[in-house]
Amino acid sequence: MDAIVNQSRRTFLKAGAATGGGLMISFCIPGAAEAAAGPAKFNAFVTIGTDGRVTFVTGQVEMGQAVHNALAMLVAEELEVEFRQVRVVQGGIDSAFGNPRYIGFKAVGGFQATGGSSSVRNVGVPVRRAGAAARYMLVAAAADKMKVSRLECVAENGMVIHQPSGRKVAYGAVANAAAKLVAPDNPVLKRPSEFKLIGKSTPRHNTPLKVNGTAIYGLDYKRKGMLTAVVARCPVFGGKVKSFNADPALKVKGVRKVVQVGSGIAVVADNFWAAKKGRDALEVAWDEGAVAKVNTPELFRQWAELAKQPTAAERLKTGDVGAALAGGAKRIEAVYEIPFLAHTCMEPMNATAHFKGDSVEIWAPTQAQSWNAHYVSQLTGLPPSAITIHATLLGGGFGRRLESDFAVEAVEVSKAAGGVPVKVVWTREEDVQHDFYRPASYNALSAALDANGMPTAWKHRIVGASILNYFKTFGHFLRKDGMDPTSVQGAGDYFPYDIPNVLVDFINHDAGVPAGFWRSVGNSQNGFIMESFIDELAHAAGKDPYQYRRQLLGKPHAARLRGALDLVAEKAGWGKPLPTGVHRGIAAHFAYGGYCAQVAEVSVAGDGNVKVHRVVAVIDSGWVVNPDTVEQQIESAIVYGLTAALYGDITIKNGRVEQSNFHDYKPLRISEMPKVEVHIWQGEGEQGGMGEPGTPPIAPAVCNAIFAATGKRVRKLPIKPELLRA
Amino acid sequence: MIAITVNGRTHRVDVDSDTPLLWVLRDTLGLTGTKFGCGMAVCGACTVHINGEPVRSCVTQVSKVAGGKITTIEGLSRDSSHPLQKAWIAGEVPQCGYCHSGQIMSAAALLAKNRNPSDTDIDAAMSGNVCRCGDYNRIRKAIHAAAKMTKKGA
């Protein structure tokens, strides 16, 4: 920033001259600066150059969700420039970029993260305000230049037009003059009826880079003098190095160093292949520790015992479930078992770090720059100001890259290797076997129905792993009774059905298998359980599963979910005939601000194999910035959830993950891809997220269709064809 | 020293003969468009052409391809003008984009042999390419669009 700074007193906007000329609008996302220690910083900005080019710097990262596009569209809309005039630049780490959704977490200084389907919801308005403020100042500067009233001027397509005379001034010509003005206190944002760009499908900036190999992901990052490392990790979670012999690794051509770090032994070499050969040649003896005794089948047996405890940490309690269960006309009970899941982003974990003694620089595909910096600061003792993080493009995120292990490890390796820049590359096997898994759980459900078949009681006890046991910056949010809000998310935080007596509780049991955030988090498993069990109740009552749900969604807080359900039933032709052997299942769930309902059309072959033919989805997440990318997000969320429902199973044997790569941890492939129809409902409701709400409904919609096809209820994921054979 | 011809240029590379072609492309030649996804030929992210055939470069030893004509995503066209690249852009196919070098190379090998592939042909040619973002329907549509473009251009 140059010396000229005109800061509005009451807002978080300020204007100034950009280095190299032009207008720079800086803004602070409300709350972020308050949460951060020290004075507010203004380092998130929109710049209008004297050539009229607009540069938008964002702290949010791009992992395929097109957030860079969506935010640039918001800037272009308010600024009145063509979308293609806006250049998006990935910003570094800065408290000004702190995600206000998480400002409650003051212990970590407010933080910068891209997750929880939160970007547009949270930074959308501040970004629009920056655009609107810049437009206001450019109009004022142009009016001064033309010596006319600014009330007679309008902005359009990067120009200020004096309407009575038709005279025009380009933004670039008044960018310097505008920089001397005071930013408006409260720039007026456009009304939705005035939107030219918001709500229209707009192509991404970076698609051309993704079709010719020039897009740079973390794994593609290169730096002079950079070495590559591959790490030998204990196959058992929590295991430690007992002893190691580096000699066989050092004999491999290209291997430079072998160093011990927290995660194991790193082999540092000239290139990946040498590092990997060195790693494979290394002799390491491990102290496997206590987790070596953990096996998945025993874990579920243990959890089944724990579930019998009289009490647990309560998340939702209304009425008297005990009495209602005892007094119902009919009682239904079921157990649902949910497996651990890995994320398997297409780009395996990696990070490049350069430890320079008094500072450290990191280049990484990360969703969570602030958390990375927090842990790197803890590791190195360096102040956060000495830590620079450059986020690259992410080859998928899905919550895996909210963790900091890969970034911290790269810093450790760089430091141990003598302060040279090192890229640590994880093989796919490491990626699968050293993840933070979607928590497995054992779920005991019971319900009572009245004489009309309607539920009077609903009890859901969840026993299982907890993310917050592992996510230590969140550790203080784990309640003393062991309640982890992420474990009951989608089961007890938003309960849409009108049932008078409800109890949702949780027993936290840490088996030593790391747990983490997986697209839609608790909703991904609890949505499956809720929407399967409600289907069970409908069938027990002898009622249509769509109408049964509908009847129970009468409370005002459930109106948007009912709206989505109604629309999906209509669009899918619920109740209309289907080809022989094809059956429908329905499900609806709220997650991360989005109400999503889906109908799946499924057939089950004689050998039990499941084919999903078509999925119809309705999403109501309020107003939409870019419909095309919303459609992609919902389709993507469906594929992610469908992959898990059909195949996703991480099993533990002697403390080790049994799966290792895409051959035994299978992804959905093109030949299995259903037709997907996405209907976007743009209601008046509060804006919600887009990345995650599409995942929870797919597994129950498919399993409810399987029930319709076979009469067999899937209560344990993934779906096992051998249990569905005719 | 091993001599390999990549995108029309011959390079002499000083690497172990067992080095997979993928890592020679990425680490030695700096051609990072070809991606590492699995290391065992089950995801297709590393797909390149050798004499026009789609090959998983992560399991192909460099010594076995000396003398072959290797094409990577960087060499598919000089200016992103291959019909598939155009169709990919027009159809807004990629999300994260990481798998798409491999997707496009597999599709290009298919179209080179079969100018009008059916959905079944696409399933057969493309099932080795994983996309975790779930871009499959757009990939299918873009391959059909590119086939149409090629026909018109012919």
Q: Which residue of A has its CA nearest to B95?
A: A64
Is position A303 within any domain? no
- Mean pLDDT for chain A? 92
Q: Tokens for A468?
A: 């917050």
In whole angstroms, what is the distance from residue B49 CA to residue B77 CA? 13
Q: Do B4 and B70 contact (CB within 8 A), yes or no?
A: yes
pLDDT for position A504: 98
- Mean pLDDT for chain B? 97
Tokens 């499900």, residue located: A587
Tell me: do B71 and B45 sit in the same domain: yes
pLDDT in tens, B31-79: 999 999 999 999 999 999 999 999 999 999 999 998 899 999 999 999 9
pLDDT for position A100: 54
B109 near A CB under 8 A:
no
Q: What is the ipTM of this complex?
A: 0.98
pTM over 0.90: yes
First vs last C-alpha separation in chain A? 71
Q: Which residue of B has its CA nearest to A213?
A: B33
Question: B75, B97, B120 — which closes off a domain?
Answer: B75
Inter-chain touch A398–B104, beta carbons under 8 Å: no
Q: Do A274 and A254 contact (CB within 8 A), yes or no?
A: yes
The boundaries of the domain holding residue B101 are 83-153
Tell me: do B100 and B71 sit in the same domain: no
Inter-chain touch B133–A272, beta carbons under 8 Å: no
The boundaries of the domain holding residue A361 are 224-289+349-433
A83, A670, A676, A698: best mutation site toward chain B, by most B Cβ within 10 Å? A670
Tell me: do B64 and B121 sit in the same domain: no
Q: Looking at beta carbons, which residues of chain A come within 8 Å of B122?
A: 670
Tell me: do B110 and B91 sit in the same domain: yes
Tell me: do A336 and A402 sit in the same domain: no
Inter-chain touch B92–A347, beta carbons under 8 Å: no
B104 near A CB under 8 A:
yes
Q: What is the CATH number of the domain that holds A682?
A: 3.30.365.10
pLDDT for position A475: 52
Is position A321 within any domain? yes
Question: B47, B75, B103 — which closes off a domain?
Answer: B75
Q: What is the CATH number of the domain that holds B45?
A: 3.10.20.30
Size of interface A-B (CB pairs under 8 A): 185
pLDDT for position B19: 98
A205, A212, A615: best mutation site toward chain B, by most B Cβ within 10 Å? A212
Is position A218 within any domain? no
pLDDT of A103 above 50: no
HSE, side-chain direction, 13 A CA sphere, residue A189? 13
Cα dihedral sign for A540, A541, A547, A548? negative
How many domains are contained in chain A? 4
First vs last C-alpha separation in chain B? 42
A645 near B CB under 8 A:
no
* Sheet with A54-58, edge to edge strand ranges: A5-7, A13-17, A23-27, A44-48, A54-58, A86-90
A664 near B CB under 8 A:
no
Tell me: do B6 and B56 sit in the same domain: yes
Is position A499 within any domain? yes
Tell me: do A16 and A40 sit in the same domain: yes
pLDDT of A105 above 70: no
pLDDT of A111 above 80: no
pLDDT of A17 above 60: yes
pLDDT for position A183: 85
Inter-chain touch A273–B19, beta carbons under 8 Å: yes
pLDDT for position A28: 56
Per residue, the 3-state secondary structure of A450-505, as one string, reads CCCCCEEEEEEEEEECCHHHCCHHHHHHCCCCCCCCCCCCCCCCCCCCCCCEEEEE
pLDDT in tens, B10-26: 999 999 999 999 999 99
Task: For residue A718, say if its preceding peptide bond is cis, omega within 30 degrees of 0.
Answer: yes
Inter-chain touch B89–A675, beta carbons under 8 Å: no
Tell me: do B52 and B88 sit in the same domain: no
Tell me: do A258 and A332 sit in the same domain: no
Residue burial A508-546, b: 16+ Cβ < 10 Å; e: rest? bbebbbbbbbbbbbbbbbbbbbbbbbbbbbbbbbebbbb
Tell me: do A358 and A247 sit in the same domain: yes
Is position A299 within any domain? no
Q: Do A443 and A509 contact (CB within 8 A), yes or no?
A: no
pLDDT in tens, A655-695: 999 999 999 999 999 999 999 999 999 877 888 999 999 99
pLDDT in tens, A340-349: 999 999 999 9
In whole angstroms, what is the distance from residue A627 CA to residue B96 CA? 17
Tell me: do A330 and A472 sit in the same domain: yes
In whole angstroms, what is the distance from residue A25 CA to residue A79 CA? 11
Q: How far is CA A17 from the centre of its chain?
A: 36
Q: Which residue of A has its CA nearest to B119?
A: A671
Tell me: do A273 and A376 sit in the same domain: yes
Nearest by CB to B97, from A215, A219, A671: name it.
Answer: A215
Tell me: do B61 and B90 sit in the same domain: no
3-state secondary structure of B86: helix
Average pLDDT of the residues in A554-571: 97
Contacts of A416 (CB under 8 A, 6+ apart): A257, A259, A260, A261, A266
pLDDT of A4 above 80: no
In whole angstroms, what is the distance from residue A185 CA to residue A505 CA? 47
A67, A202, A210: best mutation site toward chain B, by most B Cβ within 10 Å? A210
H-helix or E-strand spanning residue A301: helix A296-306
Average pLDDT of the residues in A628-635: 97
Strand partners, B12: B3
Q: Tokens for A283?
A: 């002799």
Quote the minimal CA–CA distance from B140 to chain A in Å. 8
Is position A297 within any domain? no
- Nearest to A671, CA basis, from B88, B29, B122, B98: B122
| pLDDT band per the 50, 70, 90 thresholds, residue A335 | very high
Tell me: do B69 and B92 sit in the same domain: no
| pLDDT band per the 50, 70, 90 thresholds, residue A498 | very high
Tell me: do A581 and A671 sit in the same domain: yes
Nearest by CB to A635, from B104, B122, B134: name it.
Answer: B134
Tell me: do A71 and A137 sit in the same domain: yes
Q: Looking at beta carbons, which residues of chain B come within 8 Å of A64?
A: 94-97, 133
pLDDT of A11 above 60: no
Q: What is the CATH number of the domain that holds B114?
A: 1.10.150.120
| pLDDT band per the 50, 70, 90 thresholds, residue A37 | very low
When mean pLDDT is compared across A465-479, A511-525, A573-587, the lowest value belongs to: A465-479
pLDDT for position A568: 98
Tell me: do A25 and A151 sit in the same domain: yes
When mean pLDDT is compared across A10-24, A184-198, A334-348, B118-132, the lowest value belongs to: A10-24
pLDDT of A45 above 60: yes
Percent residues over pLDDT 90 in chain B: 95
In whole angstroms, what is the distance from residue A596 CA to residue A700 CA? 12
| pLDDT band per the 50, 70, 90 thresholds, residue A185 | confident
Q: Do B84 and A212 contact (CB within 8 A), yes or no?
A: no
How many domains are contained in chain B? 2
> Which stretches of A498-562 are assigned E, i.e. beta strand?
501-508
Q: Do A86 and A103 contact (CB within 8 A), yes or no?
A: no
Tell me: do B55 and B107 sit in the same domain: no
Contacts of A67 (CB under 8 A, 6+ apart): A58, A60, A61, A114, A119, A120
A203 near B CB under 8 A:
yes
Is position A109 within any domain? yes
Question: B54, B75, B96 — which closes off a domain?
Answer: B75
pLDDT for position A31: 46
Q: Looking at beta carbons, which residues of chain B come within 8 Å of A209?
A: 97
Quote the minimal CA–CA distance from B4 to chain A in Å. 18
pLDDT for position A29: 52
H-helix or E-strand spanning residue A376: helix A369-380
Tell me: do A554 and A657 sit in the same domain: yes
| pLDDT band per the 50, 70, 90 thresholds, residue A219 | very high
Tell me: do B49 and B98 sit in the same domain: no
How many beta carbons lie within 10 A of that of residue B52, not counting itself? 13
In whole angstroms, what is the distance from residue A528 CA to residue A589 CA? 9
How many beta carbons lie within 10 A of that of residue A206, not counting itself? 17
Tell me: do B101 and B41 sit in the same domain: no
pLDDT of A301 above 50: yes
Nearest by CB to B130, from A213, A429, A662: name it.
Answer: A662
Tell me: do B146 and B111 sit in the same domain: yes
pLDDT for position A36: 40
pLDDT in tens, A421-479: 999 999 999 999 999 999 999 999 999 999 999 999 999 999 999 998 888 665 556 77
Tell me: do A180 and A105 sit in the same domain: yes
pLDDT of A30 above 60: no
| pLDDT band per the 50, 70, 90 thresholds, residue A112 | confident
- Nearest to A677, CA basis, from A642, A641, A639, A631: A631
| pLDDT band per the 50, 70, 90 thresholds, residue A40 | very low
Q: Do A104 and A141 contact (CB within 8 A), yes or no?
A: no
Nearest by CB to A667, from B15, B76, B130: name it.
Answer: B130
Inter-chain touch A662–B43, beta carbons under 8 Å: yes
Quote the minimal CA–CA distance from B14 to chain A in Å. 11
pLDDT of B136 above 60: yes
B74 near A CB under 8 A:
yes
Nearest by CB to B80, from A64, A208, A629: name it.
Answer: A208
Q: Do A267 and A250 contact (CB within 8 A), yes or no?
A: no
Nearest by CB to B92, from A63, A204, A214: name it.
Answer: A204
How many beta carbons lie within 10 A of that of residue A506, not counting itself? 27
Tell me: do A337 and A354 sit in the same domain: no
